[in-house]
C-alpha cells in the first residue's frame, strides 16, 4: 500500500466534493439543519399544560387551590367555566389538556376537617403527556393538602408529627431536568451515523455508474488504497460536522459538556470511521447509487432513531427487540455521548461500549476492503 496512491484518490474525491455543491450541502448544511430542527422541535418537557377550571365553590380556599396550578410553570390557566359541556368542548378542540372541577362545598368540608374530592379530567388521547400532567396535578394537590393540614393543626394547638420527614431531593447530572440536555448528545450520534453512511454510500457506486471504475481498475491501485483514499475526504467533513455540532450544543442550546473533551472526540472519530466504512461497504456491494442511498437510509436512520435509545427507552421494549438493539452500533455511541456529556464518566464505565465501537469499525472496514474486487463483472 503506497501513500501516493491514497493521496491521489483522496485528492480526486476532494475535487468531486468541492465541485458538487450537493455533496457539500449533504455533508455540512443538512446536519446543521437537522441539529437545529430537532434541537428546537424535539422535546420531552411538558410545560404550560393548558388548564380549564370549574370552581363551583368560588371561595378563598378554592381560589388558593387554583393558584397552586396557575402559579406553576407546568400549567397555563386558559379560562374558567361553569359546566361540563364547555370542558368537553375545550378538551375536544385541544384548548385544554386538563380540567379541574372543584365542588360547591369545598370550603365547608375543609373547615370541618373532611376529605374533599376534587375532580381532574384529562385528555388521554396523548397518554404520555396526560400521565405527566396527572403527576403534576397530584403534586400540586398534595402540596395544598399538606399546607391545609398544617394550618389546621396549628390553629388547634396540636403538636403534630406530620411533616417531620423532610425529603430534600437532589438531582444529579441534569439538575434542571431539561430534556434537551438528554436528547442533544443522542441527536449528534444519530445525525453522524445517517449522514456519514449516506455520504460514502454513493462513492464507489458512482464510479461504476459513470464508467470511471474501469480506468481505476486498469491502474496499479489496490483495493485498500481506494477505500482509504475515498474515506479521507468524508472523514474530514465528519470532523467538521462534529466540531460544529459541539459548538451548536454549547452556544445555541446551552448543553453543558461535563466530561472529557479528548475522550469525546476520540470515541466520535472511531464511530465516524465505522459509519463511513459502512457506507463504503454498501456502495461496494450494491454498485448502484439509488439502491445504495436507499439501503443506507434503511440500515442507519431507522435503527438509529428507533432502537438506539435516542428517544424510546430500551428497557421498555419487548425482550426480543431489546436483544436486537445490541446489534445497533448507534446504541453504544448514544450511551457514550450521554455518559460523557451528562455524567463525566470515563472508560472505566464506558469500556464495554468503547470496545464494541472499535470492533465494529475494524470489522466493517475490513469487510469493505475485502468485498472490493478489481474486476468488471
Does 167 map to a domain? no
Domain boundary among the residues 144, 162, 196 is at: 144
Does 153 map to a domain? no
Q: Kindly report each contact of residues 21-26 with a partner whose C-beta sits within 8 Å and lies 24 or more positions away, as own/partner.
A: 23/199, 26/195, 26/198, 26/199
pTM of the model as a whole:
0.82
Dihedral sign, CA of 183, 38, 310, 179? positive
Q: At residue 302, does pLDDT exceed 70?
A: yes
Cell numbers that stand for 286 in this block: 450494491
Q: At residue 42, does pLDDT exceed 90?
A: no
Q: Does residue 254 share a domain with residue 208?
A: yes
Q: Does residue 192 share a domain with residue 100?
A: no
Q: Does residue 12 share a domain with residue 97?
A: no
Does 123 map to a domain? yes
Domain boundary among the residues 124, 144, 164 is at: 144
Q: Does residue 362 share a domain with residue 247?
A: yes
Q: Does residue 365 share a domain with residue 234?
A: yes
pLDDT (0 to 100) of residue 157: 64
Mean pLDDT of 252-270: 92
Q: Does residue 183 share a domain with residue 135?
A: no
Does 164 map to a domain? no
pLDDT (0 to 100) of residue 28: 83
pLDDT (0 to 100) of residue 121: 94
CATH number at residue 117: 3.40.1710.10
Does 159 map to a domain? no
Q: Does residue 132 share a domain with residue 87?
A: yes
pLDDT (0 to 100) of residue 174: 83
**CB-based contact 17:27 (threshold 8 Å):** yes
pLDDT (0 to 100) of residue 273: 94
Q: At residue 262, does pLDDT exceed 90?
A: yes
Q: Does residue 29 share a domain with residue 86?
A: no
pLDDT, tens digit (0-9, with 9 covering 90-100), for 51-106: 999 999 999 999 999 999 998 889 999 999 999 999 999 999 989 999 999 999 99
Q: Which band of pLDDT confidence, cut at 50, 70 and 90, is reported for residue 165? A: low
CA atoms lying within 13 Å on the CB side of residue 271: 30
pLDDT, tens digit (0-9, with 9 covering 90-100), for 188-212: 998 888 888 888 887 887 777 777 7
Q: At residue 161, does pLDDT exceed 80?
A: no
Cell numbers that stand for 258 in this block: 461535563
Q: Does residue 132 share a domain with residue 84?
A: yes
Does 333 map to a domain? yes
Does 25 map to a domain? yes
If one compares 333 and 20, the residue with the highest pLDDT of the two is 333
Its domain, for residue 294, covers 3-43+178-371
Query: CA–CA distance from 72 to each of 139, 159, 163, 187, 210 (Å)?
Result: 11, 31, 22, 30, 63
Does 274 map to a domain? yes
Q: Which single residue is written with the C-alpha cell 411533616?
A: 163
Mean pLDDT score of the chain, rounded to an integer? 86
Q: Does residue 75 share a domain with residue 9?
A: no
- Which of 17-26, 255-264, 286-295, 366-375 has the largest mean confidence? 255-264
Q: Does residue 361 share a domain with residue 241?
A: yes
Q: Does residue 239 share a domain with residue 90?
A: no
Counted domains in the chain: 2
Amino acid at each position: 500500500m503506497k501513500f501516493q496512491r491514497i493521496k491521489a484518490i483522496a485528492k480526486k474525491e476532494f475535487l468531486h466534493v468541492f465541485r458538487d455543491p450537493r455533496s457539500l450541502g449533504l455533508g455540512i448544511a443538512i446536519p446543521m439543519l437537522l441539529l437545529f430542527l430537532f434541537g428546537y422541535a424535539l422535546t420531552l418537557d411538558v410545560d404550560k399544560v393548558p388548564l380549564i377550571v370549574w370552581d363551583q365553590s368560588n371561595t378563598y380556599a378554592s381560589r388558593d387551590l387554583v393558584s397552586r396550578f396557575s402559579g406553576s410553570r407546568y400549567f397555563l390557566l386558559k379560562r374558567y367555566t361553569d359546566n361540563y359541556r364547555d370542558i368537553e368542548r375545550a378538551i375536544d378542540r385541544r384548548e385544554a389538556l386538563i380540567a379541574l372541577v372543584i365542588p360547591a362545598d369545598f370550603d365547608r368540608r375543609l373547615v370541618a376537617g373532611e376529605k374533599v374530592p376534587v375532580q381532574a379530567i384529562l385528555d388521554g388521547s396523548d397518554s404520555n403527556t396526560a400521565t405527566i400532567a396527572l403527576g403534576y396535578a397530584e403534586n400540586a394537590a398534595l402540596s395544598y393538602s399538606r399546607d391545609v393540614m398544617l394550618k389546621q393543626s396549628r390553629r388547634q394547638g396540636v403538636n403534630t408529627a406530620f411533616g417531620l420527614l423532610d425529603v430534600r431531593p437532589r438531582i444529579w447530572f441534569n439538575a434542571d431536568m431539561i430534556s434537551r440536555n438528554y436528547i442533544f448528545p443522542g441527536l449528534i450520534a444519530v445525525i453522524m451515523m445517517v449522514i456519514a453512511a449516506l455520504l460514502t454510500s454513493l462513492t464507489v457506486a458512482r464510479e461504476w455508474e459513470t464508467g470511471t471504475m474501469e480506468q481505476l481498475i486498469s491502474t496499479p491501485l489496490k483495493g485498500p488504497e481506494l477505500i482509504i483514499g475515498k474515506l479521507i475526504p468524508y472523514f474530514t467533513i465528519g470532523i467538521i460536522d462534529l466540531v460544529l455540532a459541539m459548538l451548536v450544543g454549547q452556544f445555541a442550546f446551552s448543553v453543558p459538556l461535563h466530561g472529557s473533551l479528548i475522550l469525546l472526540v476520540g470515541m466520535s472519530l472511531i464511530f465516524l470511521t465505522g459509519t463511513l466504512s459502512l457506507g463504503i461497504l454498501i456502495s461496494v456491494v450494491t454498485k448502484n447509487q439509488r439502491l445504495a442511498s436507499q439501503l443506507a437510509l434503511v440500515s442507519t436512520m431507522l435503527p438509529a432513531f428507533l432502537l438506539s435509545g435516542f428517544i424510546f427507552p430500551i428497557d421498555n421494549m419487548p425482550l426480543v427487540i431489546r436483544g436486537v438493539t445490541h446489534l445497533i452500533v448507534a446504541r453504544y455511541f448514544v450511551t457514550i455521548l450521554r455518559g460523557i456529556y451528562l455524567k463525566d464518566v470515563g472508560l472505566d464505565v464506558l469500556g464495554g461500549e468503547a470496545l464494541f465501537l472499535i470492533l465494529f469499525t475494524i470489522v466493517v472496514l475490513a469487510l469493505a476492503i475485502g468485498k472490493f474486487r478489481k474486476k468488471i463483472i
